[in-house]
């Protein structure tokens, strides 16, 4: 099997069968808050995917080249969180300078997204291979997170114009929708 085929299979696995939000249940903040428009969800999801890719690669370097040689492997969670926060802050700062629209979409949630458990989970899962595998785990997992945010925002937009029973409005219908999307993603496991 060629490297390109393996990368494509890994992409499908990370986006659909091992999705951080719907299958691994990481990054549940996507389920609990109102995503806003699909465009805003796409911007926030793209930012999160970029942060996941960069922090997974940087955390691999920190772990293999700094913590292991120093004998400080037990500090990996603190180091990973610090690297994720720093990379998220720097990426948000760069994106806000490039595009004010992106800065407005990220708002005050840039730092909160950085310490999202999906970002830390991508770093932990990516430790099993080399730096390329870690970066691809972060990037492809981030693309799955982006897909989850866009799908949930699209469902929420459609639910605004639907007749939903009063007792199901808000979070309950969002959780039911997320459960149905998760069931649909579980259908990809046989691939």
The model carries a pTM of: 0.86
pLDDT digits (tens, 9 = 90+) for 132-177: 999 999 999 989 888 988 888 888 888 888 888 888 888 888 888 8
**65 closest CA partner among 52, 79, 51:** 79
DSSP-based three-state secondary structure for 18:
coil
The interaxial angle of helices 76-98 and 117-125, nearest 10 deg, is 120
- CA–CA separation, 186 and 172 (whole Å): 21
Please check whether residue 11 is in contact with residue 18, taking contact to mean a CB–CB distance below 8 angstroms: no
Tokens of 178: 């997320």
Query: Residue 83: what pLDDT?
Result: 92
Domain boundaries, the chain: 15-190
């Amino acid at each position: 099997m060629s490297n390109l085929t393996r990368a494509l299979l890994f992409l499908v696995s990370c986006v659909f069968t091992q999705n951080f939000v719907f299958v691994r249940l990481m990054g549940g903040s996507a389920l609990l808050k109102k995503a806003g428009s699909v465009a805003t969800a796409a911007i926030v999801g793209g930012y999160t995917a970029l942060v996941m890719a960069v922090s997974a690669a940087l955390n691999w370097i920190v772990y293999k080249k700094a913590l292991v040689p120093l004998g400080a492997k037990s500090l990996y969670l603190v180091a990973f969180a610090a690297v994720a926060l720093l990379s998220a802050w720097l990426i948000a700062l760069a994106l806000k300078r490039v595009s004010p629209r992106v800065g407005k979409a990220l708002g005050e949630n840039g730092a909160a997204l950085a310490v999202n458990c999906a970002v830390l989970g991508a770093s932990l899962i990516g430790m099993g291979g080399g730096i390329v595998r870690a970066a691809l785990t972060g990037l492809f997992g981030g693309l799955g997170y982006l897909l989850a945010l866009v799908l949930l925002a699209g469902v929420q937009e459609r639910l605004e114009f639907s007749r939903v029973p009063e007792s199901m409005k808000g979070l309950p219908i969002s959780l039911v929708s997320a459960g149905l999307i998760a069931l649909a993603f579980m259908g990809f496991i046989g691939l």
